Every structure is written in structure tokens, then in C-alpha cells.
Amino acid sequence: MFLMGRAVIKFWRRPATYKTLEDLSAMANSHLWRPTARSMGKPSVKGLTSYNRWSCLAMLEEDEGDQYDWLSNLPDDVLLNIVERLDTTYAVRTSILSTRWKQIAAMLSKINLSVGFFDTEHVRSELTCDDVVQANQSMLEATRTMLESRTNQYTIHLLRMQFFLADGSVNIGQTVANTIATKKVGSVELTLLTEKDGSICTHDDLVTHGRQLSSFVDACPNTFSGLARLKLENMRLGESDFPKLFSISKRLEFLCLFNCDIGYLSFLEVEHPQLRELEILKCDFEMVDLKWLPKLTTLTFTCWESKHDPLSFGFVPLLQTANISNTALSSHKMLKLSEFLGKVTLRELHLNFESEKIWVQPEGPKELLQVFNKLRIVKLSGISEECHLSWTMFVLQGAHSLQELHIEVWDHLCEMVEDERHRKMLGYSKLKKDACVEWEGLPSCFKHRNLSVLRVYGFQSDDKFVNYILGVMEATVGLEDIYLYEKPGCEMCKHKMKKGGYPRTDELRIVLRNIFNREASLVRVHFPSARM
């Protein structure tokens, strides 16, 4: 019943390392398990098709001789462990094999249900209202089948749901709420999709989605009170909606907001006692104030319109990792990390410049002492290929505990705006992309004693890269490994990429190793094939 109607519903898929039904069939065909066709409810051979995915289990034994059904007679916990390695949809299909297998399907501790993958603009643009309604209806049927037949005896450790915020979503939410109220449920994750992709949403679309969420929260407060993880997209909420959502979702540990706001260049204040991870992606807030988040450990923040500091760090004593990314325009302020991060003390910092203007201003060690004091890993990504690299050395000077430094140099062509007329219209800088970066350089006597790993992505065999690496080696005394990766790329812009000078032959790599070993003979130089 999970493939009814127009077959809109698709279920969340586990990583490829988990077993499929074919894998389970192969296991069952081994010498350990030899079930009989009779005990598995074997269908006729004539009726089999490529869609009878469960049939490989039902026909493991063609012989009519009496043989013991090892598979079906395994202990519950062992058989459950095997079934839980399948995708949820395949695991449920095993219930039709026999009463024994039906009982096992009702014991599943991880349930992942999704209306499908509609992440691309092309797919979203082709969806109709009927498609969305049918998808949610199929989702409702699957949810009721999976949840309402269960007993309190078995705990659901993970309940992950993804569906459209549209007609039918309230019924799904109420089913989830009933499950949370009457059965043992550990972690509940909810992703609410919108019919349109964010790139084609109008102001009215965003407002409509915001009202749909508000109505959904009012109709299903118990669903949100039990949530551990929540993902929202493409909506404009009222001023009271976010505080209301935070107050109801008391167990929330993870929140992702994509293209959400309270109005263009609005202000968001975040207070929550349990929130550990926060992602604010491509939202039009002028300022986000992390006022009181005592358990927050990880922050991801991308793309801001504000000409001022887009973040304010209040009480975030456990914050360890910050991932900050932006395509800076000429009007964007050069951020000073000592002021921007305030009193935050990080262990890992990732800054992505998205192949455009460098928007961080190098500072001296005295200014950075507070925010860089415990820093262990720094990743500087999306540095344009036209930029110099020497300015990145301010990280070494300011972070005396730094252990790993990652540098990625890459013009991501399929996401860049190259037409000069469009660049001017959008407000991109006319200057060189590192023109606003001012730094005096390292003192001649400076030595960093903790850096052990340097990773350079987009490495080319030219003076800019070679001299930079030699400079890092000269400034450190404990460097052990240097990893040099070729230029990153994606399928969309691979054909546009200029042929680079990455050392692909053993001869060129030996030459480079000899150059670097003259500076420090004990440093190991690697040329891995892996990409970032």
C-alpha cells in the first residue's frame, strides 16, 4: 500500500552500506540459513516480476524435502537486527511473508518515512496541487500503517518524517502526536517541505507557507512538543511565531531554517534551553541574536544581506564549531572576528568566501586572543583563484593552539556571476577580491609550535602555492603532514574548468617533495586523490 495512486511517495534511504533485500537473500542462501518455501509462503514462479522484491526471500528453497527453517526461527532480536538493515519500505514489505515476519516489522525501532526527494527547482516546478495532496495522502496511509498497529512493548528509537506543509499534513501530525503520547518514542525528526522551490517563491508564497506552519503548530502542539529535530523552509512568519515555536518545542536539539524570516531584513532572537545545533541558511534576517542557548555546540550561518554584523553572540558557553559562509557584495562590511565573535571561544572555525570578495579582516594576536585561544581547526574555503594567500597566515599568528589548517582555492564557475553587467547590477565589487585585506605579515622571529597538518585544496604547481607552503613551513616547528589536493569540481562546471597544473606524474611530485624537504626534511608530503 506504499506505492498507491501516482506513486508519489518515496521513502528515506539508508546509506549504501546497509543491506538490501537482495543482500539479505544472499545471506539467507548461505550455509547458515536454509528456509523452506513452505514456511515462507512461496508464491508461484509464474507470478513473479521484477517488482516482487520480497520474492527472493520467499523462494530461497525450491526443494520439497524437509529442511529446517533457520531464518524464520532465529531469535527476535537477531531477525530484527537483520530487517532493520533494510530501507524502511523494504522492511515493511517483509511483513507479508508470514505471521512471524509481520511481528518483526512491528518491532522496528527506526522508522523513516518521506514523500520523496523534491530538492531541485526542476522537480518542484512540475508539481501540481494534486501531486502534493496525493503525496501527503500516501504518506498518511503509510504513517498510520507503521504507527497505529504498534504496541507499547517496543520502543521507537528514531521516528523521522518528511512531508509537505499542505492539505493532509495536520492528519499526519496528529498521528505522530498520538504515537508520541501513547507509545515509547525516543527521537522525533520532522522536515516540512513546501510545494515550490525557494528560488521561485514570491512574497505571497512565503507568507502563505508561514500561515500554514502557524496553523499546523496550533493544530498539532503535541507533535512539536516531542520534536528533537526540525527543518523548515521557504516561509515568512509573524513576529510571535518563532517565540511560540521555541516555547512549544521544549525538547528541540536541532533546528534548520532555510529561506525563512519574519520579513526582509528583520530581527530574530533565539532563546532555547536544549538546542545544540542551529542552521540558518539563506535567510533574510538583518541580525540574528543568539541570546540564550546554553547547550549550543554547532552553528551554521550562510548568506546575509545586512551591511553590519549579521550575528550577535550572547550566552553560548558551549559553542565549539562555527561554519560561516557568504557571497560578499561591495557593500558588505569587512568583519573583524574579534568583534564579530565577541567572547566566544571556538575549537573549529570554517569560513567560506564562495569565490568572491574576502570579507574577513586579518587581525593581530592580541585582538584575537579571546576568540582564537582554544582554536584547533580552521578551514578557509572558496578563496578565489585571483587572490593571494599570504593574508591567511594571520590565523597562525593568532591561534597558538591550532593543529590543522585547511585552505581551499577554487573558482566555482557554475555558481559565480561572471558577466560584468550583471555583477554591477547585483552589487559585486569591482576591485580585486582580496583588495580590502590588509595585513602586515608575520614577524621574522615568529614560530608556531602546534600546527601539525596543512591541507591545500586546489593546489597548482606555481609560485603562489609553492611560496605559500614554504612560508607556512618556515613559520612552524611541528608540521608533520602536508596534503595537496587537486582543484575541486562539480559535474555542472567540470567542462568549464581551466586545465590546471596539479602534479599528476611521479616526476613532478618528486620535484615538489624535494623543494619542500629542503625546508623541513621530516615533513611528509601527500598527493591524495580525494576531494574536499
Q: What is the distance between the alpha carbons of residues 327 and 424, in angstroms, rounded to a whole number? A: 14
Strand 229-236 and strand 185-193: pairing? parallel
The per-residue pLDDT for 108 is: 80
Amino acid at site 519: E
The sign of the torsion formed by the CA atoms of 62, 64, 65, 66 equals positive
Q: DSSP letters of 516-529? A: HHHH-TT-EEE---
| Structural domain contains residue 355 | no
Give helix then strand counts, H and E, for the chain: 17, 17
The answer on pLDDT for 252 being more than 70 is yes
The per-residue pLDDT for 491 is: 76
The per-residue pLDDT for 489 is: 75
The per-residue pLDDT for 122 is: 47
Whole-angstrom CA distances from 442 to 211, 223, 475 are 54, 55, 8
Q: How many CB atoms lie within 10 A of CB 193?
A: 28
The per-residue pLDDT for 274 is: 98
| Residue 492 burial (C-beta neighbours within 10 Å; 0-12, 13-18, 19+) | exposed
Q: What is the distance between the alpha carbons of residues 454 and 433, in angstroms, rounded to a whole number? A: 24
E strand spans, 274-386: 277-281, 285-292, 298-302, 311-315, 321-325, 348-352, 377-383
Amino acid at site 382: G
The answer on pLDDT for 25 being more than 60 is no
Q: If residue 91 lies in a helix (H) or strand (E), which one and from where to where?
A: helix 88-93
Amino acid at site 473: M
Decide: 433 and 358 in contact? Cβ < 8 Å.
yes
Helices 169-182 & 203-219, crossing angle to 10 degrees?
A: 30
The answer on pLDDT for 133 being more than 80 is yes
Residue bearing cell 579582516: 361
The per-residue pLDDT for 227 is: 96
101 and 112 inside one domain: no
Whole-angstrom CA distances from 141 to 136, 283, 508 are 9, 34, 61
241 and 125 inside one domain: yes
Mean pLDDT value across residues 191-200? 90
What's the pLDDT tens digit per position in 33-91?
333 333 333 333 333 333 343 344 444 444 444 455 566 677 777 777 777 766 666 66
Reference 406, options 384, 383, 436, 432; nearest CA is: 383
The sign of the torsion formed by the CA atoms of 334, 340, 341, 343 equals positive
Decide: 157 and 187 in contact? Cβ < 8 Å.
yes
| Structural domain contains residue 481 | yes
The answer on pLDDT for 259 being more than 70 is yes
190 and 284 inside one domain: yes
| Structural domain contains residue 469 | yes
For residue 110, the number of C-alpha atoms closer than 13 Å in the C-beta half-sphere is 15
pLDDT-above-90 percentage for the chain: 60
| Structural domain contains residue 160 | yes
* Confidence label for 241 from pLDDT (cuts 50, 70 and 90): very high
Q: What is the DSSP letter of 107?
A: T
- Judged by DSSP in three states, 341 sits in coil
Decide: 328 and 353 in contact? Cβ < 8 Å.
yes
66 and 174 inside one domain: no
Q: How many CB atoms lie within 10 A of CB 76?
A: 12
Q: Chain-wide mean pLDDT for the chain?
A: 83
The per-residue pLDDT for 47 is: 36
E strand spans, 30-128: 110-114
Higher pLDDT, 24 or 347: 347
Q: What is the distance between the alpha carbons of residues 449 and 455, in angstroms, rounded to a whole number? A: 17
What's the pLDDT tens digit per position in 321-355?
999 999 999 999 999 999 999 889 999 999 999 99
Q: What domain count does the chain have?
A: 3
Q: Which of 319, 353, 387 is the last residue of a domain?
A: 319
- What's the helix, strand, coil split of the chain in %, to 5? 30, 20, 45
The per-residue pLDDT for 49 is: 37
| Structural domain contains residue 353 | no
196 and 80 inside one domain: no
Q: Which of 319, 349, 383 is the last residue of a domain?
A: 319
The per-residue pLDDT for 124 is: 64
Which of the residue ranges 70-79, 158-167, 359-368, 404-413 would you say has the lowest mean pLDDT? 70-79
84 and 117 inside one domain: no
| Structural domain contains residue 344 | no
* Cell numbers at 4, concatenated: 498507491
Decide: 198 and 233 in contact? Cβ < 8 Å.
yes
* Confidence label for 229 from pLDDT (cuts 50, 70 and 90): very high
| Structural domain contains residue 6 | no
* Confidence label for 199 from pLDDT (cuts 50, 70 and 90): confident
The answer on pLDDT for 290 being more than 80 is yes
245 and 289 inside one domain: yes
**524 backbone dihedrals φ, ψ, rounded to 5°:** -90, 130
Mean pLDDT value across residues 210-234? 96
Residue bearing cell 493532509: 168
* Confidence label for 224 from pLDDT (cuts 50, 70 and 90): very high
| Structural domain contains residue 468 | yes
393 and 452 inside one domain: yes
N residues, the chain = 532
The per-residue pLDDT for 66 is: 47
The per-residue pLDDT for 101 is: 67
* Confidence label for 167 from pLDDT (cuts 50, 70 and 90): confident
Name residue 302's beta-bridge partners: 281, 325
Mean pLDDT value across residues 18-47? 39
Mean pLDDT value across residues 158-173? 92
Mean pLDDT value across residues 515-529? 90
133 and 267 inside one domain: yes
Edge-to-edge order in the sheet of strand 311-315 = 266-271, 285-292, 311-315
CB neighbour list of residue 489: distance below 8 Å, 6 or more residues apart: 497, 531
Mean pLDDT value across residues 370-374? 95
Higher pLDDT, 66 or 6: 66
CB neighbour list of residue 482: distance below 8 Å, 6 or more residues apart: 453, 454, 455, 456, 469, 473, 516, 523, 524, 525, 526
The answer on pLDDT for 262 being more than 90 is yes
522 and 441 inside one domain: yes
Amino acid at site 407: I
Name residue 360's beta-bridge partners: 335
The radius of gyration computed from the CA coordinates of the chain, to the nearest angstrom, equals 28
Q: If residue 147 lies in a helix (H) or strand (E), which one and from where to where?
A: helix 129-147
The per-residue pLDDT for 77 is: 72
The answer on pLDDT for 1 being more than 50 is no
170 and 41 inside one domain: no
| Residue 430 burial (C-beta neighbours within 10 Å; 0-12, 13-18, 19+) | exposed
Decide: 149 and 155 in contact? Cβ < 8 Å.
no
Q: What is the distance between the alpha carbons of residues 406 and 380, in angstroms, rounded to a whole number? A: 6
Domain span at 56 = 21-105
Q: Which of 72, 105, 138 is the last residue of a domain?
A: 105
The whole-model pTM stands at 0.83
39 and 128 inside one domain: no
∠ CA(145), CA(148), CA(149), 5° rounding? 75
The per-residue pLDDT for 381 is: 97
What's the pLDDT tens digit per position in 436-468?
999 989 999 999 999 999 999 999 999 999 999
Mean pLDDT value across residues 176-196? 90
Decide: 451 and 478 in contact? Cβ < 8 Å.
yes
